[in-house]
Amino acid sequence: MKDARALLTGGASVIHVRLARVQGSSPREAGAEMFVTATRVAGTIGGGQAEWQALARARDMLAQGDAQAMLDIALGPDLGQCCGGRLRVELQRLTKARCAVHLARLETALRPHLLIAGAGHVGRALARVAATLPLHVVLVDTRAQELAKAPEGIDTRLTPLPETEIADAPPASAFVVATHDHGLDFLLTLAALRRGDAAYVGLIGSATKRARFERFAQQTGGVPSDALVCPIGAAGLGDKRPEVIALMTMQEIFTALRNVAPAQASATRIGRQQR
């Protein structure tokens, strides 16, 4: 996103490269895109020879002044790739107005929301992994000294009431609770589960901690604990290294968020049809 923004606002001529149609097996889905200038590239349409051909054609367009072009690439016969699909690649030189349109689209694109409660070793490790993915990552803690160690570029929230951040998170968010206090962990996990719309709720700990949480939840009004993931990630395998827990947990989260996406898209289509 940052690279695309820099290209679209940098003043250089830009070619928009987009996979308009995909048939059969392909490294990327239709709609994948990249922005190309004479010296820089943002985005990808899958890499390999197909992307190399598209990049070369885009640079030819910049040199020759062409406004648009199209490539039809058969991955197997043309490039010797094992995918075997066929790609239609559309290339368009962007005017200043079209650059603004793409910039606005990218700025307003909804990214799944991940809230990490607790900026300790596991929370920071998870934030580092999540920062490499197309997510809006929020790291919340009551301790300024821990938030100060957060990875660069992460949205941090210093608050004495982290439960308010959970309440204010958008629908279908993912939540990971990994604070320094078991009592606070239980309160925040309960708040996330009681929303009823979370894509993922994970609590750091063990099977014993999960059992204690379930007793706590029953004593405070009950909650559907089958939606809770505890232990999270590799902790369930007995590996307590923060980096390993973070990597395995992020796989769980990303899978959960992707499973939510089709339902959201369906709901959006229904809403549009009803208006």
Q: Domains plus CATH for the chain?
A: 2-108 (no CATH), 113-260 (3.40.50.720)
- For 213-259, list the strands marked E by DSSP: 228-229
Taking residues 82-97, report their average pLDDT: 86
Cα separation, 130 vs 119, whole angstroms: 14
Cα separation, 115 vs 123, whole angstroms: 10
Percent of the chain scored above 90 by pLDDT? 65
Quote the pLDDT of residue 83: 58
Cα Rg of the chain (Å, integer): 23
Average pLDDT, the chain: 87
Quote the pLDDT of residue 66: 96
With 90 as the cut, is the pLDDT of residue 104 above it? no
Quote the pLDDT of residue 74: 85
At 122, is the secondary structure helix, strand, or coil?
helix
Cα separation, 233 vs 202, whole angstroms: 9
Cα separation, 159 vs 144, whole angstroms: 9
Taking residues 25-38, report their average pLDDT: 90
With 80 as the cut, is the pLDDT of residue 87 above it? yes
With 80 as the cut, is the pLDDT of residue 40 above it? yes
pLDDT digits (tens, 9 = 90+) for 189-234: 999 999 999 999 999 999 899 999 999 999 988 887 789 999 998 7
DSSP string across 12-47: S-EEEEEEEEEESB-SS-TT-EEEE-SS-EEE-S--
Quote the pLDDT of residue 224: 74
Residue 236: which pLDDT band, with cuts at 50, 70 and 90?
Answer: low
pLDDT digits (tens, 9 = 90+) for 240-273: 889 999 999 999 999 999 887 544 434 433 333 3
pLDDT digits (tens, 9 = 90+) for 108-162: 555 789 999 999 999 999 999 999 888 889 999 999 999 999 998 899 999 999 9
Quote the pLDDT of residue 84: 62
